[in-house]
Amino acid sequence: MAETPEAQEATMAKWMGWFGAIGGSVTDMGNPFGASTAVGAGSTSNMTGYTIVSADSLDAAAALAADCPVLADGGSVEVYEAHEM
């Protein structure tokens, strides 16, 4: 998380620019995650938030994520396909 109001504003501008660039593909802009815990075997994934996009394929969704602002800070993006039930 950016420490100063100016840095927070710059970070938000990057996110809004990315959301604007991928446009109508954004289904849910998402939210950051807080603390987490694992139940059962394994550990938490260290994810820091989520965004939901609509794409024709997993590869197309990954292409949308290619410019996600979290990548510029050394983070990573995990892309999952959601199945309707």
pLDDT of residue 61: 97
Say whether 30 sits in a helix, a strand or coil: strand
| 13-65 pLDDT tens trace | 999 999 999 999 999 999 999 998 889 887 778 888 999 999 999 999 999 99
Q: What is the pTM assigned to this prediction? A: 0.84
Cβ-count burial 43-67 (b if 16+ within 10 Å, e if not): eeeeeeeebebebeeeeebeebbee
pLDDT of residue 44: 79
Dihedral angle computed from the Cα positions of residues 6, 9, 13 and 16, in that order, rounded to the nearest 10 degrees? 170
Q: Map out the domains of the chain as residue ranges.
A: 5-33+47-72
pLDDT of residue 42: 78
